């Protein structure tokens, strides 16, 4: 009986958040171990379907770096990265499109549908809704300037097709592939895409799933909430560093541009999205304006 009562208490704790966010849009960047471990994949798909059923509009933007690496290795193609961005020649771009825009995107769509949701896969080529420009050059750690190939930055997101899908009861699942003015595909960082989509949709929340717990302070303890001023101070002190810098900056840029809040959460935790959004304590780091 005690276990049943605890389950009821969990529902009561979630109720104010469900009421507050009813009709709102959440953009969730899906990546890391949550895309690989079977039980985490299933849990994520169920959680996304649940969000839709309680009246929230989830939009999923997925990564897929490890899956691309695996496919490139199987084809004998050597892949190079600069500051976390994959150098993308024409052959690599074909693989990126095949994995992100094809196999992986459809696997996520299928999984969400299996768990009761109605999902539709998209990339920036669909209706040309996500436009990008090619990154001209990047600097290596040795200081050399190189052409990163078909690596892009987002220049414009037209949310019309996404809004139409959401209005029809569907969950959009977006591959991070943009298109330039010539119709050529561009490989774009998934966090960047999620942030741009969240801004275009005026989303209530941007959720970035990672393989770490969140942002840690000088004492190594998890920081539950950060403002722009606090982020600036922690970066100046070298506390926020490395791969966490672009994630925090992505969240901060989105909030500055009108997104309600950004959240950095650990996707290795089962039901991480629900725990962050629907519990009083949360599990990650939120970025607020």
Contact 26, 59 (CB under 8 A): yes
Asked if the model's pLDDT at residue 55 lies above 90, the reply is yes
Quote the pLDDT of residue 180: 94
Asked if the model's pLDDT at residue 144 lies above 90, the reply is no
Contact 193, 131 (CB under 8 A): no
Output the six-digit token pair for 78: 């050597």
Q: Which CATH architecture has domain 28-212+246-277?
A: 3-Layer(aba) Sandwich (3.40)
Q: How far apart are CA 157 and CA 254, in angstroms?
A: 14
Quote the pLDDT of residue 137: 76
Quote the pLDDT of residue 7: 62
Q: How far apart are CA 70 and CA 72, in angstroms?
A: 6
- In the sheet where 25-30 sits, what is the strand order? 119-122, 171-174, 57-62, 25-30, 205-210, 261-266, 285-287, 225-226
Q: What integer is the mean pLDDT of 113-125? A: 96
User: pLDDT of 240-252, one tens digit each?
Assistant: 887 788 899 999 9
Domain ranges across the chain: 28-212+246-277
- Give the position of tokens 């925090």: 248
Asked if the model's pLDDT at residue 212 lies above 90, the reply is no
Look at 196 and 10; give whichever has higher pLDDT. Answer: 196
pTM: 0.92
């Amino acid at each position: 009986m005690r276990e049943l009562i605890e389950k009821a208490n969990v529902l009561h704790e979630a109720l104010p958040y469900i009421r507050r966010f009813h009709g709102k849009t959440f953009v969730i960047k899906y990546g890391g171990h949550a895309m690989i471990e079977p039980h985490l994949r299933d849990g994520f798909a169920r959680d996304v379907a649940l969000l839709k059923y309680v009246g929230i509009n989830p939009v999923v933007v997925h990564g897929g770096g490890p899956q691309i690496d695996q496919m490139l290795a199987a084809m004998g193609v050597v892949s190079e990265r600069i500051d976390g961005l994959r150098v993308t020649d024409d052959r690599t771009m074909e693989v990126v499109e095949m994995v992100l825009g094809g196999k992986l995107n459809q696997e996520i769509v299928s999984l969400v549908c299996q768990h009761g949701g109605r999902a539709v896969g998209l990339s920036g080529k669909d209706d040309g809704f996500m436009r990008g420009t090619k990154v001209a050059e990047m600097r290596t750690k040795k200081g050399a300037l190189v052409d990163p190939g078909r690596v892009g930055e987002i220049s414009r997101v037209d949310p019309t097709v996404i809004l139409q899908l959401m209005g029809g009861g569907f969950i959009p699942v977006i591959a991070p592939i943009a298109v330039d003015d010539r119709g050529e595909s561009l490989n774009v960082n998934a966090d960047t895409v999620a942030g741009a989509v969240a801004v275009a949709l005026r989303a209530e929340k941007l959720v970035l799933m990672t393989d770490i717990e969140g942002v840690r302070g000088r004492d190594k303890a998890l920081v539950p909430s950060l403002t722009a001023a606090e982020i600036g101070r922690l970066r100046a002190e070298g506390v926020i560093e490395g791969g966490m810098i672009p994630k925090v900056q992505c969240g901060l840029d989105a909030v500055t541009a009108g997104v309600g809040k950004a959240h950095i959460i650990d996707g290795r935790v089962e039901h991480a999205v629900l725990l962050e959004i629907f519990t009083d304590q949360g599990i990650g780091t939120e970025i607020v304006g």
